[in-house]
Chain A
Amino acid sequence: MRVDVRLMGVLSDAAGSTGIRLEVEDGVSLGDLVSRLVEELPGLEDVLIDRVMDSYAPNALVIVNGIEAFNLEGSSTSLREGSALVFLPVTHGG
């Protein structure tokens, strides 16, 4: 199945891309999708992954089909065919 990922702010800068369409296994979890995303766009690793927390960084807001991921199942959220994800860094300039 395919999912669309949109990257914003410093994440798009680090990835060198504003978004990507990925082919993934049916029902892939958000956590696994993030691992796959980092494989495809290695520039994201330092800004998106928190090795201490063993998850995507807590200062990234992940929005799955308009719903913030913590309102679903966080990293365990199952994605569906055509899911649209937005990765929005919380810490911006100001």
Chain B
Amino acid sequence: MCWAELTLNTLNRSCTKCHGAPSVYHRPYSGERLCAACFNESLFERVKKTVGKYDMFEYDSRIAVGVSGGKDSLTLLRLLDELEKDRPYAELVAVCVDEGVKGYRDEALTLAEKNCRELGVKMYTVRFRELFGETMDEIAARERELGTCSYCGVLRRRALDEAAKAVDEAAKAVDADRLATGHNLDDMAQSVLLNVLRGDVVRMDMFNPGGRGVEGFVRRVKPLCEVPERETTFYAYVNGMEFQSLPCPYAEEAMRSDVRRFLNRMEVKRPGSKFIVYQTGLKIRGRGDGNVVGRCSVCGSPTRGDLCRACELSGRME
């Protein structure tokens, strides 16, 4: 690219933060135009602020980071690695779930491993076959009452919990007190709208990116909850990260796809829409602490009914 071209394309568009370097990214919702260095810094600062706002970590937290090999989880891993450099007593461990989706997850796990190696972060993998006796490919191939995403979402969630709690000598023990996942602003806004569309007042009440401590569960936190997905993607791009680029072959959650498409269009027409939906979710939620009333009669996990969803679906697989 020649200088004349850069000048033509970025006339009067230097970074609105440092006022020096040419900008490379525009945030229509805030009006900012950022150079690559300021873009990186602003994402780091936003995550740091979010972590502080929700008291996500203690000074000595052992944080399991759910790493899928996609751009969100790898961005999260990098930002938390940077953030935790200031906390010498804290530690990160990457936890991965191998659902057994041939040609998809195996590539993702290789990428996750590569990124962990670069950062010097230990990685611990749990497998659907070992936890539930079947791979996702096998579940998808059989007759099912529900869609594949319904099974995978619930079982992945359980698998991540198991991985975060695992005490495994070979993996030098995960034994985490926090589980950080790469859910971004888009995921959060979609969840708010989905809860409204489904009339799911219980989930609306429990909406909480900072998670909560429930005995038997590792507290789940979502440090990227205020970072738009476009920005995790651009972060991965400008930092030359290698990440899983193909969607899951079983992705079929039609209602979430509809909501995602709607929100993406609204964000172009009315910048800031995703933040507004997310903030509304926070305003209408309750305290979210009165819904876990019992323990699963099979596995003992906290649940609102007699059987937790993971055991219910595992039972349906038999």
Contact = CB atoms under 8 A, between A and B. Distances in A.
Interface of A: 8-10, 12-13, 50, 52-53, 57-59, 61, 63-68, 70-72, 77-78, 80, 82-84, 86, 88-94
Given A86-B237, A88-B237, A93-B247, A68 B26 contact: yes
Contacts of A9: 245-247
Interface of B: 1, 5-6, 8-10, 13, 22-26, 28, 33, 68, 70-73, 104, 108, 182, 229-230, 233-234, 237, 243-248, 251, 260-261, 264-265, 267-268
Given A70-B28, A93-B108, A80 B237 contact: no
Contacts of A57: 264
Given A93-B68, A93-B70, 11 more contacts: A8-B245, A59-B260, A66-B24, A71-B26, A72-B10, A78-B8, A80-B5, A91-B247, A92-B244, A93-B251, A94-B73
B160 to A, nearest CB: 12
A72 B9 contact: yes
Contacts of B28: 70
The 9 closest A-B pairs by CB, nearest first: A9-B245, A94-B70, A71-B26, A58-B264, A65-B1, A93-B247, A70-B26, A93-B248, A58-B268
B182 A91 contact: no
Nearest to A61: B233
B244 A93 contact: yes
A27 B223 CA distance: 42
A20 B244 CA distance: 22
A93 B247 CA distance: 4
Contacts of B234: 61, 68
A77 B237 CA distance: 21
A63 B235 CA distance: 12
Nearest to B268: A58
Contacts of A82: 1
Contacts of B182: 94
A68 B260 CA distance: 21
Nearest to B72: A94
Contacts of A86: 237
Nearest to B23: A71
Contacts of A10: 245-247
A18 B1 CA distance: 21
A13 B22 CA distance: 33
B33 A71 contact: yes
B264 A59 contact: yes
Contacts of B247: 9-10, 91-93
